[in-house]
Amino acid sequence: DTEVTQTPKHLVMGMTNKKSLKCEQHMGHRAMYWYKQKAKKPPELMFVYSYEKLSINESVPSRFSPECPNSSLLNLHLHALQPEDSALYLCASSQDPRGGAGNEQFFGPGTRLTVL
Amino acid sequence: GNSVTQMEGPVTLSEEAFLTINCTYTATGYPSLFWYVQYPGEGLQLLLKATKADDKGSNKGFEATYRKETTSFHLEKGSVQVSDSAVYFCALTLYSGAGSYQLTFGKGTKLSVIP
């Protein structure tokens, strides 16, 4: 299984809602990532988990809250978002984080989020 | 810091034309280099990679060679198809110093292939 899955595929939420995005991989990868991608732009890194521990938080507002319950799952909890947070949210994973620069990241299909 | 510069698009080609998308990088170490492709409405897929100087990555008729002397990793394909229409991202990865390797992306080049 060389796939990263993400649910839901699409999400529409109001600014007062609480929702969660889910990401799953069964490749035994020990690094997992959340990216935000706006239209016609490259992905921007938000968070990195290495061995289920948060290792990088790229100054992301606290209305985004990541969680890594186990080595296969990564969640992104959303609360009190703003319309400018509307974007494609991509999850990725890669092998042992200590394994070297050659380890590619495998991306999921993304969740298209719209905040009204 | 690290950065990737790739040619601005959009690029429009006729089917069976030759494709080159230029990519150059600046890095504070010895990076690995990647090309990712994003088809409309989808996530990113790894197209090819190279981990050391003079390595050639290849996949689906696409090729790119890691040129350390010119800090470049240009993407080429001899004969493009309509199905190659997508956005192509050049990227590098280096150790972030925080237990992982971070990807640095170029801005992306949109390719449209017309029949």
Q: How does pLDDT run across A9-18, given as a tens digit for each residue? A: 999 999 889 9
Which residue in chain A has the smallest CA separation from B10?
A40
Residue % of chain B over a pLDDT of 70:
96
Q: Which of B59-73, B74-88, B98-112 has the lowest mean pLDDT?
A: B98-112
Q: How high is the pLDDT of residue A95?
A: 87
Which residue in chain B has the smallest CA separation from A37?
B43
Q: Which amino acid is at A90?
A: L
Convert the pLDDT of each residue in B29-66 to its tens digit.
889 999 999 999 899 999 999 999 999 999 999 999 99
Q: How high is the pLDDT of residue A101?
A: 65
Q: Which residues of B48-73 are buried (b: 16+ CB within 10 A; e: fewer)?
A: bbbbeeebebeeeebbbbbbeeebbb
Q: How high is the pLDDT of residue A2?
A: 66
Across the interface, do A42 and B34 touch by the CB < 8 Å criterion? no
Query: Which residues does A86 contact at the CB level (< 8 Å), separation at least 6?
Result: A113, A114, A115
Q: A56, A58, A91, A104: best mutation site toward chain B, by most B Cβ within 10 Å?
A: A104
Chain A, chain B: beta-carbon pairs less than 8 Å apart: 76
Q: How high is the pLDDT of residue B8?
A: 83
Q: A21, A27, A47, A107: best mutation site toward chain B, by most B Cβ within 10 Å?
A: A107
Tracing tokens 């993304």 back to the chain, one arrives at A110
CA distances from B100 to A36, A38, A48, B97 (A): 18, 24, 8, 7
Across the interface, do B100 and A56 touch by the CB < 8 Å criterion? yes
Q: How high is the pLDDT of residue A1?
A: 62
Which residue in chain B has the smallest CA separation from A5?
B43
Across the interface, do B102 and A48 touch by the CB < 8 Å criterion? yes
Q: What strand order describes the sheet that includes A64-70?
A: A4-7, A18-25, A73-79, A64-70
Q: Give the residue from B50, B21, B37, B42 showing the smallest Cα distance to B84.
A: B37
Which residue in chain B has the smallest CA separation from A3?
B45
Note whether A56 and B98 are within 8 A (CB): yes
Ranges of residues in chain A whose predicted pLDDT is under 50: none
Q: Which amino acid is at A62?
A: S
Measure in Å the smallest separation between the Cα of A82 and chain B Cα atoms: 23
DSSP helix/strand/coil, A85? helix
Q: What is the mean pLDDT of residues B15-20?
A: 97
